[in-house]
Amino acid sequence: PVPGNGDDASRGFWSSRLAFILAATGSAVGLGNIWKFPYVTGENGGGAFVIVYLICIAVIGVPIMMAEVFLGRNGRHNPITSMRLVAERNLKSPAWRVSAVVGMLAAFIILSFYSVIGGWSASYVEHALVGDFAGGTADSINAIFSDLLASPIQLLIWHTVFMALVVLVVSRGLKGGLERVATILMPTLLVLLLVAVGYAMTTGHFGEAVSFLFKPDFSALTFNAVLIALGHAFFTLSLGMAVMMAYGSYLRRDISIGRTAISVAFMDTAVALLAGLAIFPVVFSFGLEASAGPGLIFQTLPLAFGNIPMGWLFGTLFFILLLFAAWTSAISLLEPVVEWVEEKTSLARAGSTIVVGVLCWALGIASILSLNVWSDVTPLGMFERFEGKTIFDLLDFFTANVMLPLSGLLTALFVGWAVAKESLKLDLALDGTAFTLWYNAIRYVTPVAVLVVFAYNLLA
Ligand code: PFF
Ligand code: NA
């Protein structure tokens, strides 16, 4: 066998079950948990939304994660080749691999703008550290954010820094790169988050945050909120982007996919809830709006950091936490495409990473310019539903609303209907009842739920 190219051991494995869990949790825990979860929860009325979100994670997210890890481990190649191999072993059409193609394309596009937002986090570490928020007013804090978005040069510098950090890790490969960074950053992140929650407990508004997050008011729940919850469950668990397939391809066969996927989903959920418990008490103690939207952590929170004792320190720690979370997620977005290039070309690990990283960095420039110089450029503006949408908006819209559900749907259909049941039983290592639950979820519940969201997003 060609080294690195096949089933041979030289391709490498995660050193342990824990190493895989930390790396996969590193992928899952990201901007989605710390930036997006609190603000979508805020926008959608709190508790009832959280319950629907938890149901989506358990009933749809976990089963798809298991399916993706299964495909990667069974194929033991890059996601596209893995899916083809699994299809062939089950005497099914190799065309099923289109699911991985769509997922990898989505990963590449998403990384291009995820890196821009990762760059915002890095720039906010600096702002907090040098005391730019100190004594700030709503206007001065908002100005920091809008000045950043208005400056292509600033955005480009931070996007470049962030992408360089990602390329650095991925180019070092599985053990020296992905695994090492996850084992250092994930425990650090957890400690920082607990410090943040500890601080939030001293604000006197902790109880308010707890009831906001956990007291359901079902009258505030709309159909749209249910769809957002499902979409977010996908995004937060890094599904539909071939990432869990790529990570699964390095997982030893004697490790239970079922238990492992549940651990990752549990950690991801715990971090999202803890982030809510860290952020909302601070927001409430300053009488700020929980429904502030995407600006919640870049505008609302810095206002608080600027006006509390030792705010520069808590602010710096908070944005470092955000940066670490974004970093390990971005690493996982780059991995599937790099794995593919490495296996399909004569380029080695480092070369593959640099080629893909540079292309992705270049695409990110389109998103940067969409925020300022090209803010009036709306390529699909002639269609009513895309009116006013910049290139950045369109990339976000098509990946989140078209590519991810499509890839997720095809994955569920493939694993649920085309792969032999015996092979699934063997690989997932779930006991009888758990297997039956999972099998029905992947065959029926998931495809139906994803189709409903898909149809609604496209037609409504
Ligand atoms: N799960 C990440 C988050 O919640 O921020 C985002 C993400 C990372 C999505 C990697 C997809 C992915 F492949
Ligand atoms: Na997440």
* pLDDT values of the chain reduced to their tens digit, one per residue, 460 residues: 343 444 556 789 999 999 999 999 999 999 999 988 988 888 888 899 999 999 999 999 999 999 999 999 999 999 999 999 999 999 999 999 999 999 999 999 999 999 999 999 999 999 999 999 999 998 999 999 999 999 999 999 999 999 999 999 999 999 999 999 999 999 999 999 999 999 999 989 999 999 989 888 888 788 888 888 988 999 999 999 999 999 999 999 999 999 999 999 999 999 999 999 999 998 898 888 888 777 788 988 898 899 888 889 999 999 999 999 999 999 999 999 999 999 999 999 999 999 999 999 999 999 999 999 999 999 999 998 899 999 999 999 889 888 998 999 999 999 999 999 999 998 898 889 999 999 999 999 999 999 988 888 778 7
Domain that holds residue 256: 9-459
Q: Up-side HSE of residue 20: CA atoms within 13 Å toward CB?
A: 29
In a domain, 2, yes or no: no
* Contact in structure between 323 and 121 (CB atoms under 8 Å): yes
Half-sphere exposure of 169 (CA within 13 A, CB side): 24
Q: How many CB atoms lie within 10 A of CB 458?
A: 11
Structure-token pair, residue 170: 């991925």
ipTM of the prediction greater than 0.85, yes or no: yes
> CB of 61 within 8 A of CB of 239?
yes
Question: Is residue 261, in this structure, part of any structural domain at all?
Answer: yes
Measured in Å, residue 321 CA sits from the centre of ligand 2 at 14
Q: Domain for residue 3, yes or no? A: no
Structural domain includes residue 4: no
pTM score, whole prediction: 0.94
User: Would you say 415 and 107 are in contact if contact means Cβ atoms under 8 Å apart?
Assistant: no
* Domain of residue 103, CATH code: 1.10.4160
Q: Is 333 inside a domain boundary?
A: yes
Does ligand 1 have an atom closer than 6 angstroms to the CB of 243? Answer: yes
Q: Is the Cβ–Cβ distance between 371 and 392 less than 8 Å?
A: yes
Number of domains in the chain: 1
The atom number, within ligand 1, closest to the CA of 235 reads 9
> What is the number of residues in the chain?
460
228 lines ligand 1 (CB under 6 A): no
Q: How far is the CA of 326 from the centre of ligand 2 (A)?
A: 10
> Is residue 298 in a domain?
yes
Q: How far apart are CA 381 and CA 156, in angstroms?
A: 26
Q: Is residue 281 part of a domain?
A: yes
- Residue-wise DSSP of 93-162: -GGGGHHHHHHHHHHHHHHHHHHHHHHHHHHHHHHHHTTTTTT--HHHHHHHHHHHHH-HHHHHHHHHHH
Residue 91 lies inside a defined structural domain of this protein: yes
Task: Tell how far the Cα of 329 is from the centroid of ligand 1, in angstroms.
Answer: 5
